[in-house]
Chain A
Amino acid sequence: MNAAVMFYLLLATVLGLALLCVRPLGGYIADVMEGRPTLALRVGGRFEGALYRLSGVDARREMSWSEYAIALLLFNLLGAVVVYALQRLQLHLPLNPQQLAAVSPDSSFNTAVSFITNTNWQGYSGESTMGYLVQMTGLAVQNFLSAATGIVVAIALIRGFARHTAQVIGNFWVDVTRSTLYILLPLAAVLALVLVSQGVIQNFDGYKDVTPVTATAAVPTQTLPMGPVASQESIKELGTNGGGFFNANSAHPFENPTPLTDLLEIVAILLIPFALTYTFGKMIGDTRQGWAILAAMLILLVSMILVAYYSEQHGNPLVARQGIDQVASHAQSGGNMEGKETRFGIAASSIFAAVTTGTSCGAVNTMHDSMTPLGGFVPLFLIQLGELAPGGVGTGLYTALIFAILGVFIAGLMIGRTPEYVGKKIEATEMKLASIFILTTPFIVLTGTAVAVAVAAGKAGVANPGAHGFSEILYAFSSAANNNGSAFGGLSANTPFYNLALGLAMWFGRFWPIVAALALAGSLAAKKRIPVGEGTMPTHGGLFIALLIGSILLIGVLTYVPALALGPVVEHFMLAAAR
């Protein structure tokens, strides 16, 4: 079968499986977050109630947006302190069979901020740095809680649209408990079991010294790292976290052994971000609105997948000029296989690279640093667009909704009507908050990159000088500020400079837009609902979808084209000119 046909089949399978789950999962999430008596709430209700009694939470009392935001910030600060402490104390803690030493203070800080912000940027190598207890109770726990944080912010913003003349947007403690107990935990448990059945390891064994097939006198044995991998792998993908147990992430055969696990991991990444669009529609009483958002996300994602695939399958022109065959055939994958796993090939690697950066996952089954310039441009640009194709769990939806607000504002300016979106007037306060949301992240990316390329400590981490080195730094700050966590691997980022700089980027890039989004939720919830009239612009048709995509591209292009021109764009032209 032709390679392109196989690519399209794989893409259709991935999208088909994820889209099949949109309505049932999205509807279930809406029911759970609105407290309807679903089977899950009936089964887990007593345990949930006990948790609230133990912690002194009044589940019936809802919060204003500012109370909600402060509760969220405190919750995440506590998480960061715990993860920091676990890393610094790990030599004295159990489940550390390799007796790995305490993680350095700067790396501990970076990792703590990284995991609470759902970024999962890993400046360290998991198998040589983290003991099993830290991986499980620190990192995997934050994988659940950071994903829950993203979901609840999206739900709060949806409530802002759904409610009218209301001063409250929900109870943070109830929301985060329900999203963890009834959404993330069950899905992660099922996926973990499936992964184990396919060969993903799950044990507390010490690392094993084995005799490889290619043993030599000089290298008679190889040390294979072990660990409770499957339980972390499942929430890594489902919660769009991305932090791997091992350094090679989903390229490692113990994390992602087969093409089937690769397919399941890609679907898992897309599952909740896709489903939340239906949750939005259901909660506001008009599912067409959710489908419109999903359509815009799909158009962006699929376009970029195609660019990545064709760039990688086309391969390196310099290699072709040497007379080396790069054409796909039954005997070879063809194209640019550098940094890729042969069990995945070009198609699965390209799809994974686009999906992981179109969401905020950041897991990798291929080394993005080894992609062609245009191929590598795809993950970078998807991150810089704001990660809303379809975005991370929660973050993708609330980012898309805020861009929708921007879009209807632009449309309102054009036609001279007060902009409105799903029955809410968009006025000066909403636009100020939307602007703060949209502009915070690019400010962090560009400022951080500018500082890093100007100071010696920033330049010291670059392994590939020139345009590619610039791309590595730009990618690092884009990934951190947008809470993706993937990297162009050539940058040596486990230094005090990058650990601090990227840590700051991750914190501000995560929580400042969240605060703006919650403020927006509060502002919208307090407004009256405007009934649909003759002059109301429909926000569920093709025109709105085009407007939304246009708004997203306009901001992304205006903000990042100058920086991209210095990185992947010039690298592409240099490669074409064979310099």
Chain B
Amino acid sequence: MDAVYLLILFALYGLSHALVRSLARLRDKP
């Protein structure tokens, strides 16, 4: 179960990182 919860933590980070990338593209649109 430790692996599951640690994986969830990393997935949460990954989703948040993806949000950063997505909003960076939002800003770049004319």
**Which chain A residues have a beta carbon within 8 Å of chain B's beta carbons?**
66, 69-70, 73-74, 77, 80-81, 84, 88, 105-106, 108-109, 112-113, 429, 432-433, 436, 500, 503-504, 507-508, 511-512, 515-516, 519, 522-523
Contact = CB atoms under 8 A, between A and B. Distances in A.
A133 to B, nearest CB: 19
A470 B30 CA distance: 46
A429 B20 contact: no
A77 B9 CA distance: 7
Q: How large is the interface on B (under 10, 10 to 19, 20 to 34, 35 or more residues)?
A: 10 to 19
Nearest to B13: A77
A66 B20 contact: yes
A234 B24 CA distance: 38
Contact of B27 (A84, A429, A436): A429
Contacts of B2: 84, 88, 105
Contacts of A500: 8
Contacts of B9: 77, 80-81, 84, 109, 112-113
Contact of B26 (A105, A112, A429): A429
A113 B26 CA distance: 28
Q: Which of B5, B8, B26 has the most CB of A within 10 A?
A: B5
Contacts of A508: 12
B12 A507 contact: yes
B14 to A, nearest CB: 10
25 contacts: A66-B21, A66-B24, A70-B17, A73-B16, A81-B9, A84-B2, A84-B6, A105-B2, A105-B4, A105-B5, A106-B1, A106-B5, A109-B5, A429-B27, A503-B8, A504-B12, A508-B12, A515-B16, A515-B19, A515-B20, A515-B23, A519-B23, A519-B24, A519-B26, A522-B27
Contacts of B26: 429, 432-433, 519
A436 B22 CA distance: 12
Nearest to A73: B16
A73 B19 CA distance: 11
Nearest to A80: B9
Chain A to chain B: the 5 pairs with minimum beta-carbon distance, closest first: A105-B1, A109-B5, A519-B23, A77-B13, A69-B20
Given A84-B5, A88-B2, A70 B10 contact: no
Nearest to A74: B13
Nearest to B24: A66
Given A515-B23, A522-B27, A73 B4 contact: no
Contacts of A519: 20, 23-24, 26-27
Interface of B: 1-2, 4-6, 8-10, 12-13, 16-17, 19-21, 23-24, 26-27
A415 B29 CA distance: 28
Contact of B6 (A81, A106, A522): A81
Given A73-B13, A84-B6, A523 B20 contact: no
A73 B20 contact: yes
Given A433-B26, A504-B12, 7 more contacts: A66-B24, A77-B9, A112-B9, A429-B26, A507-B16, A519-B23, A523-B27
A84 B19 CA distance: 24
B16 to A, nearest CB: 5
A439 to B, nearest CB: 14
Nearest to B1: A105
Given A507-B12, A515-B16, A433 B23 contact: yes
A69 B27 CA distance: 15
Given A77-B9, A84-B9, A109-B8, A516 B23 contact: yes
A522 B25 CA distance: 13
Contacts of A113: 9, 12
Contacts of B4: 105
A170 B24 CA distance: 17
B16 A512 contact: yes
Nearest to B21: A66
A514 to B, nearest CB: 9
Contacts of B19: 512, 515
Q: Which of A106, A511, A522 has the most CB of B within 10 A?
A: A511
Contacts of A433: 23, 26
A210 B17 CA distance: 52
A77 B5 CA distance: 12
A239 B24 CA distance: 30
A177 B27 CA distance: 29
Nearest to A516: B23
Contacts of A66: 20-21, 23-24
A108 B1 CA distance: 11
Nearest to A116: B9
A519 B29 CA distance: 14
A511 B24 contact: no
A77 B17 CA distance: 11
A429 B28 CA distance: 10
Contacts of A512: 16, 19
Nearest to A519: B23
A523 B10 CA distance: 28
A377 to B, nearest CB: 32
A270 to B, nearest CB: 30
A134 to B, nearest CB: 16
B7 to A, nearest CB: 11
A512 B12 CA distance: 10
Contacts of A523: 27
Contacts of B6: 81, 84
